[in-house]
Structure 1
Amino acid sequence: MTWILLLAGFALLVAGAEYLVRGAASLAMDFGISPLVVGLTVVAFGTSSPELAVSVFSSLKGQAGLALGNVVGSNICNVLVILGLSALVAPLVVSRQVVRLEVPIMIGVSFLLVGMALDGSLARWEGMLLFLGAIVYTGWTVRRSLRENKQKPAEDEVDNAIVPSSRPMQIVQIVGGLALLGLGSRWLVQGAVTIAQHFGVSDLVIGLTVVAIGTSLPELATSVLASIRGQRDIAVGNVVGSNIFNILVVLGLTAAVVPGGVPVPRSALTFDLPVMLAVAVACLPIFLTGHRIARREGALFFAYYGIYAAFLIMTAMEHEAKPLFVQAVLIFVVPLTLVTLGISLWRHFRVVPYGKD
């Protein structure tokens, strides 16, 4: 029965992503809102709804580690796995708006979350402040898009396979897609958590791995399908927007509604939150160099998630090879990454002088 839930959940996620991408793209064309902004708002919030449901429910049930691990793990998975796989399917062109506005906002809210968590918890007033930030961000993004589209026609790519449909059909596609995504995530996570708990894994590790990957499958399905269909702005905007919404909406609402807020384990402060922050910061130079995510960069992202997942598994199993593994990463992987990013930035600014990009 557990495996049936897993397979059925995955099938519903794929179907829900298909409906959501079609409905959101068609709605954007009708209202004059760019597909990028739809990806950053409507699609991002919709695909973050499983994280919201899981985090609030688990916190009310006393599994706060699961709630925090879900958001932190999902943000890491969104960049490394989803953008990685989407870029492997087709190299992604990154909008200048994403590089100059949305990625810095994602980095900023990530720093804000880490700062709020330093005292060992997210208080209710901090959750309310985060949620207020989500309202301000959404309103500002949509208003800016409408104002810019009045000044000049939208230049975003529109997939010819997405045919404009009637307003009732758009609503049905979006609501139906979100419903399928929510139900599919619930079934998949329910089955996955049952398997993980069978092996005695902690709530935080389950949240960082099984639940994070499960609730990120809507983003994965949506971004990969959008990439295949040519809606690359939705593919990138969905990931960046989802990371912003995960922090501002999911953790914000969770901390606001749960009595006592959300406690932050020391292990999350010393490792998982810094990794989430590093992944967010790493997006900026990669997005900046050529305003695209090449297949090699997608492969690099995906490989990094494999390293992160291996560390979590070794930690959960208390494997004796963990110290050697960490030493190898520090000696080889980290310096190689810094050198690669440095060379990419040097080449970029050598070819494109600052201020002329």
Structure 2
Amino acid sequence: MVLAYILGLLVCFILLARIVDQFFIHSLDRISKDLKLSSDAAGATLMAVGSSAPELFVALFAIFKPGEHEAIGVGSIVGSAIFNLLVIVGASAIVRKAKLTWQPVIRDLIFYTISVSLLLLFIWDGSFSLAEAGILLAVYIIYVIAAIYWKRFLPYTDLPFDETKTEEKKKRGIIDVFDQFLGKLFPEKKYYYLVFLQSIIIIAGLSWVLVELAVLISHHFNIPEGIIALTVLAIGTSIPDLFSSMIVAKQGRGDMAVSNAIGSNIFDILVGLGLPFAIYMFIHGGKVGAGDGNLLYSTIILFSSVILLLFLLLFSKWRVGKISGIFLVLLYAIYVVREIIILYI
């Protein structure tokens, strides 16, 4: 049975990768052109919302699951946020060296800092109120507006990208089978709004299956669920972010890749927590617990990661390449190893 679980994980990973590659990015580009969004604004809003849907579904599942499981949703979001900053930005830099436009990066870092600050402030007393959940959602609306109109405050020009770099070699074997299956499942690409919506739904569904399979594997091998949440849960729900960012980074759109990673973190904190908490408290009233003291430590890690990224970008004069990318990925590996050691001590 455990082999079936592992095979299911692999199938989910492949399906996520192909959906993002073949359908999600294409529909995103068409919609962003309709809305006249810059590439970084599209990455910070549409791509972040779509690819962060798994984290939102996990938080919804955790908050409504019988018993006090709020920390599961919060923990998966924190783990995904750290993965986004270190691994996604790092992997995008490894794929292709890029010089970032500082104006949109500064925008995202400002709102990310605000998001983490609000999270720290609201969990200080150990619980969330309906008003606090509403504030999180309101700040995200402001962020979306800022992403769309940021050029009016700090003008900049989108960097050109080379589409020829993304041409694929002829696919063979199992990948062809998956692509043929998905081609029959999705509508024609000219209906890109429907394709975009269907992509989000399937990405969320596959991520939910991925989480469930990971939990089953943890029980089979008697591995603490904390480790599963830190690794499989956080990484699995961030796979759409990783692949979409690597794809656009390969095209030379480094701004969009970085904006997607940071924008996903902003979405996770403001909407991934704010929306489930607001829905739950609107229905049941009262407050929602914010978990134990470990969340405070995780929030500090988030602060540290964004400060590290900022100093790295300033030191490299807004350039990211293989060296900085490998450095970020290694930092995440060290973080995971440390968390595993702490859990077992």
TM-score (norm: length of structure 2): 0.83
For residue 32 of structure 2, give the secondary structure of its aligned residue in structure 1.
Answer: helix
- Per the TM alignment, residue 255 of structure 1 is displaced from its structure 2 partner at its CA by 2.1
1:25-67 CA-partner distances (Å, limit 9, x unpaired): 2332344211110000000011111000011111110321210
CA distance in 1, matches of 2:239, 2:198: 17
Residues 113-262 of structure 1 aligned to structure 2 (within 5 Å): 113-145=119-151, 154-160=157-163, 168-201=190-223, 204-259=226-281, 260-262=287-289
1:205 and 1:120, CA in 2 relative to 1: closer, same or farther beyond 3 A?
A: farther
User: Match of 1:300?
Assistant: 327
Q: Which residue of 2 aligns with 1:315?
A: 342
Determine which of 6, 14, 18 is the counterpart of 2:17.
Answer: 14
Matched length:
312
Within 2, Cα distance between the matches of 1:313 and 1:51?
Answer: 22
Q: How does 1:33-112 map to 2 (within 5 A)?
A: 33-61=37-65, 62=67, 63-112=69-118
SS of 2:158 mapped into structure 1: coil
Deviates more, 1:167-176 or 1:99-108: 167-176
- CA shift for structure 1 position 207: 2.8
1:69·1:205 contact (CA, 8 Å) conserved in 2?
no
Which secondary structure does the structure 1 equivalent of 2:125 belong to?
coil
> Residues 243-282 of structure 1 correspond to what in structure 2 (within 5 A)?
243-259=265-281, 260-269=287-296, 271-282=297-308
Change (3 A) 1:204 1:256: farther
Give, in angstroms, the shift of residue 125 of structure 1. 2.0
Aligned counterparts of 1:130 and 1:74: Cα–Cα separation in 2: 18
Between stretches 37-46 and 250-259, larger displacement belongs to: 250-259
How far the C-alpha of 1:205 sits from its partner, in A, is 4.4
Tell me how far apart the structure 1 counterparts of residues 161 and 324 of structure 2 sit (CA, whole Å): 25
RMSD: 2.5
Letter in 1 for 2:313: F
Deviation at 1:263, TM superposition (A): 2.1
Q: Contact between 1:120 and 1:265, CA under 8 Å: does it hold in 2?
A: yes
Distance 1:6 1:196 in 2: 13
Equivalent runs, 1:279-290 vs 2, <5 Å: 279-289=305-315, 290=317
Give the whole-Å Cα distance in 1 for the aligned partners of 2:98 and 2:198. Answer: 27
Q: CA deviation at 1:86?
A: 1.4
CA gap of 1:278–1:256, structure 2 versus 1, over 3 A, is same
Following the alignment from structure 1 to structure 2, what is the Cα–Cα distance between the partners of residues 160 and 303? 30
Identity of aligned residues (%): 29
- Structure 1 residues 121-130 or 204-213, which shifts more? 204-213
Contact 2:93/2:321, CA 8 A, preserved across alignment: yes
- 1:193 and 1:210 in contact (8 A); partners too: no
Distance 2:140 2:219 in 1: 33
Q: Structure 1 residue 159: deviation in Å?
A: 4.2
Stretches of structure 1 lacking an aligned partner (at least 5 in a row):
319-357
Task: State how far apart, in whole Å, the 1-side matches of 2:118 and 2:223 are.
Answer: 29
Structure 2: unaligned runs, 5 residues or longer: 168-187, 282-286
Q: How big is the shift at 1:179?
A: 2.9
| CA distance in 2: counterparts of 1:33 and 1:286, whole angstroms | 27
Q: CA deviation at 1:200?
A: 4.5
Q: Deviations over 1:256-307 (max 9, x none)?
A: 22343142211222x2221111102212122223112221111111111111
> In 2, Cα distance between the equivalents of 1:67 and 1:24?
27
Question: Which range moves more in the overlay, 172-181 or 53-62?
Answer: 172-181
Q: 1:114 to 1:53 in 2, by over 3 A?
A: same
- Taking a change above 3 Å as real, the CA distance of residues 120 and 197 of structure 1, as seen in their structure-2 partners, is farther
Asked if the contact 2:214–2:228 (Cα under 8 Å) also holds between the matched residues in 1, the reply is: no
- The aligned amino acid for 1:105 is F
The 2-side partners of 1:209 and 1:236 are apart by: 21
8 A contact 1:59–1:67 mirrored in 2: yes
Q: Deviations over 1:48-89 (max 9, x none)?
A: 110000111111103212101011101001011111111111
Q: Distance in 2 between matches of 1:273 and 1:296?
A: 27
